[in-house]
Amino acid sequence: MKHVTFSAESLKKEFNRRVIFDAISFSLHEGESFVIAGRNGSGKSTLVKILCGLLSPTRGSVRVNVEGKEVAPDLLFRYIGLISPHFNMYEEFSGIENLTLFGKIRGLENNIVHDAEELLRQFNIFERRNDEVRTYSSGMKQRLKFAAALLHRPEILVMDEPTSNLDEEGIATVRFVMEQQRQRGILIIATNEKDDLKYADSILNLDEQRPAKSSS
């Protein structure tokens, strides 16, 4: 397993001067999983975006260290896999086209097509790999997102509401991915489902974090 540390230092985010959350700090190492719990609208998705480097925090910073080397903020995406409702596939392309496209843009060195097919098999969409994504059911789209997020074997896997749109079988696959990621690196899950909490080494509850009223 690679040596990875992920730390958030006193993160604060405001939108239109309304404080979404404040003073969020935590530190994770490889093999650990972390759950961000909270109701809808508690700022889970916003925090996820900040952790992935997609949104800049009002204050504070996210630091990632891989094998003893600090990762530059603009290169964070290389080490992160994200599954989120905001992370969509190109619907006019087929499943396999999406995955190979992502591999090429990322500049992956390994055999992209082989890896992609392997993942599509794992997530049970191999038969439909040549169909356009727009014809997929929402469960299939969700499974394709998993394949897309794992293609570059990320050190840090971030899941925002991972079990939405999935049936029993799909949820079992998600559990398997979670276990697998804990052996590979860091797992971060944002959820409001109680079932997900038992996969956590530590939990951050945003409902409790939320400050009463903002100043400044």
Partner 1 sequence: MKDFSAPAIHIFFKDSHSELRTRYAMNALLMFVVTALALVLFSVGNEVVGTDVLSGILWVIIFFSGMSGLSRTFVSEEERGTVVTLQLLSRPTSVLLGKLLFNFVLILSLNVLIAVLYLLMVSRFVILTPSIFWVTIFLGSCSLASSSTIIAAIIAKANTKGTLYPVLSFPIMLPLLLTVMNATRLSTEGAAFSEAFGEFQILVSYTVVVITVSILLFSFVWKD
Partner 2 sequence: MKSATAKIGLVVWLTLVISAGILFPMVAAPQKWYELPIIPGLEEKARIIFFHVPMAWTTVVAFIASTIYGIRFLMTKNLDYDLRSVSAAGLGTMFCILATVTGSIWAKFNWGSFWNWDPRETSIFVLLLIYGAYFALRSAVDVEEKRATLSAVYSIIAGVTVPFFIFVMPRIMTGLHPGSKGDPQGAGPVVQFKMAPNMLLVFLSSLLGFTLLYFWMFNLKVRASRLEFHSQQPQE
**91 is a contact residue toward partner 1 (CB under 8 A):** yes
**Which range binds partner 2 by CB under 8 A, 9-17, 125-133, 160-168, 193-201?**
9-17
**16 is a contact residue toward partner 2 (CB under 8 A):** yes
CB-wise, 39 or 86, nearer to partner 1? 86
Q: How far is CA 4 from CA 39, 104, 128, 193, in A?
A: 29, 25, 35, 27
Helix (H, G, I), strand (E, B) or coil at 208: helix
How far apart, in whole angstroms, are the C-alpha atoms of residue 216 and residue 114? 54
How far apart, in whole angstroms, are the C-alpha atoms of residue 42 and residue 45? 8
How far apart, in whole angstroms, are the C-alpha atoms of residue 67 and residue 90? 33
H or E stretch covering 216: none
CB-wise, 113 or 172, nearer to partner 1? 113
CB-wise, 2 or 39, nearer to partner 2? 39
CB-wise, 54 or 197, nearer to partner 1? 54
Give me the least distance between CB of 54 and partner 2, in Å please.
14
For binding to partner 1 (CB under 8 A), which residues are involved? 49, 52, 54-56, 74-75, 77, 80, 82, 84, 86-93, 101-102, 104-107, 148
